[in-house]
Amino acid sequence: MDQEGAVSQEFIFGSKKVGTDAIVGGVIIMGIYSFFILIIIFVIGAGTIAEGFSFATLCGLPFIALPFLMIRHFFRKFSTVRLYVQHAKNTLMLEAKFGPIVSRRHKILSDATHLSFHFYTIISYSEETTDVYGGGFVGSGNVIGQTTTTVADSGTHQFYTIHGFNETEGKWELDITKILEGLSKKNAMQIAECIGIEFRDEGEIVPKGLVIA
């Protein structure tokens, strides 16, 4: 997290800048998916014109959404995210930038209520098979059997979110997880302090529908 400015109670917190190679690669990949979108739309449109709306057309519609989801994924993965805390203007702005593409969300600073942290851990299991040799040394003698070992691998996913509320839109959230990638809760507490809101450690929260073995 880079604190890029702190003038007149205005703060800017930014995520790590994405390398040029990643941006170029992301643009190429998004271009490929955009091309697939055009092909799918053309095929479905041609089929609809020729045969009318059919069951095959209905089955093809979900495939249009897949490239859009992939483009959204790459935009979030490779974009540079900045949080602007502007007390003088009573404004919170979350900006995501990927090359020439810029997305901004504005919120009223005084509507912010707290900054929350939560996580969940996914544990996956795999089996590794090792040959057993009759000579007593690995790689020597004849293979007389095999042993199977279960290996556990875990990954922890952390999330940082600014919460707020107003009567017009109700509850709102700003996801600042990318800004805090590779950092600690102490850095999140500093952001909460700069905004002037409470920091809440909500511990482990498993998303609904997610089965963790």
pLDDT digits (tens, 9 = 90+) for 168-191: 989 999 999 999 988 889 999 999
State yes or no: pLDDT of 124 exceeds 80: no
pLDDT in the model for residue 57 = 57
pLDDT in the model for residue 48 = 61
Between 203 and 46, where is the model more confident? 203
Can you point out the beta strands (E) in 47-142?
Answer: 80-86, 91-98, 101-108, 112-133
Structure tokens at 137: 């040394």
Residue 93 DSSP label: E
Identify the CA nearest to 124 among candidates 154, 158, 156.
Answer: 154
Structure tokens at 2: 């880079």
Which range has the worst mean pLDDT, 1-10, 26-35, 142-151, 163-172?
1-10
Confidence of residue 7 (pLDDT cuts 50, 70, 90): very low
- DSSP per residue, 34-49: HHHHHHHHHHHHHHHH
Confidence of residue 58 (pLDDT cuts 50, 70, 90): low
pLDDT in the model for residue 191 = 95
Encode pLDDT of 149-164 as tens digits.
Answer: 777 677 888 999 999 9
Cα–Cα dist 111/127, whole Å: 51
CA distances from 24 to 15, 38, 68, 100 (A): 19, 21, 19, 12
pLDDT in the model for residue 99 = 72
Q: What are phi and psi of 171, to 5 degrees?
A: -75, 140
